Amino acid sequence: MRAATKLATFAVVVAVVFGAAWAVGAAVGPVDVGDDTGHASHATSSADAGTSPRGLAVAQAGYRLVSGSTSLAAGTPHQFTFRIVDDAGIAVTAFQQLHERALHLIVLSRNLVDYWHLHPTMDSSGEWRVDLPSLAPGSYRVFADFQPTGADNLTLGTDVTVPGDVQPGELPAAATTATVDDYTVTLTANPVVGDNELSFTVERAGEVVSTEPYLGAAGHLIAIRAGDLAFLHVHPHTGESPVVTFTGDLPTAGTYRLFFDFSHDGVVRTAAFTVVVPDDMSMPGTTVSETSMSESHEDH
Ligand SMILES: [Cu+2]
């Protein structure tokens, strides 16, 4: 309840992306547990980009995200298309791999409840396409995370609307555990303004399980700030299972939503947590929040 109150107060949610965590979630594409092609570049890009919130702009650093549609009909799957264009409006076709993918697409309902982590495919003209599931009426934020060859890693964001009778979705209260299918995930954290260590433990039937490599890491974390949906960078701290730890900067007091993508038994699932970072003046750690889980999206 306390969290709910705070939520109401805050309007902004930021999304933080944690680390290796790339949000890589799942949605599209076979889960590959391949090697780590993207790692080195990720580290580099992280350094370049710093820890500033991302995803707030549709255009930045000479690149722009152009979506094929800004409104989608409710209740039916869609193919979503977009391009990344340069200052001259020319579609970019050369991207570096980040966490084993050339581009990561996060689709998030504005209420921070529905989440998909997808990996679109690009044709030779630079048009990206991905299948979206049937979406409920509402407003969605779409984040594209990518690194044009020779440029810095960027996260651009745009909005997509699904017209219809919008059912208000409440952000789950802060909690330290989340369940998804028959898994229970526990978050260990003491949220403060600034750098945070965020650890996740996955259990099934009361037993801790080791997650499987997914996109070159033991898990991926995306952090979003409520209110403005800022997408925050999170870095994996240790990659060993069973406990998967990330370090991420939560730049301000406020409410954040963490999406932890993990793979087990060949299926990628997402555990979502609401985390409240108290004001500097208040006692630290009063609230880790709660969670809920959204099912994650499997690859296809
Ligand atoms: Cu991804």
> Hey, which residues does 65 pair with through a beta bridge?
84
Query: Ligand 1 centroid vs 102 CA: distance in angstroms?
Result: 9
Query: Ligand 1 centroid vs 118 CA: distance in angstroms?
Result: 6
Query: Ligand 1 centroid vs 189 CA: distance in angstroms?
Result: 24
Name residue 191's amino acid. P
Tokens of 294: 């959204």
Residue labelled with tokens 């990720």: 42
Strand-by-strand arrangement of the 121-122 sheet? 59-60, 63-67, 78-86, 127-132, 121-122
Query: Ligand 1 centroid vs 161 CA: distance in angstroms?
Result: 22
Query: Ligand 1 centroid vs 279 CA: distance in angstroms?
Result: 32
Query: Ligand 1 centroid vs 116 CA: distance in angstroms?
Result: 10
Q: What pTM value is reported for the model?
A: 0.77
Query: Ligand 1 centroid vs 207 CA: distance in angstroms?
Result: 28
Tokens of 272: 């979502």
pLDDT in tens, 185-206: 999 999 999 999 999 999 999 9
Mean pLDDT of 224-248: 84
pLDDT in tens, 61-112: 999 999 999 999 999 999 999 999 999 999 999 999 988 899 999 999 999 9
36-46 exposure pattern, b = at least 16 Cβ within 10 A, e = fewer: bbbbebbeebb
Query: CA-to-CA distance for 221 and 187, rounded, in angstroms?
Result: 12
Ligand 1 (ion): which residues have CB within 5 A? Answer: 24, 104
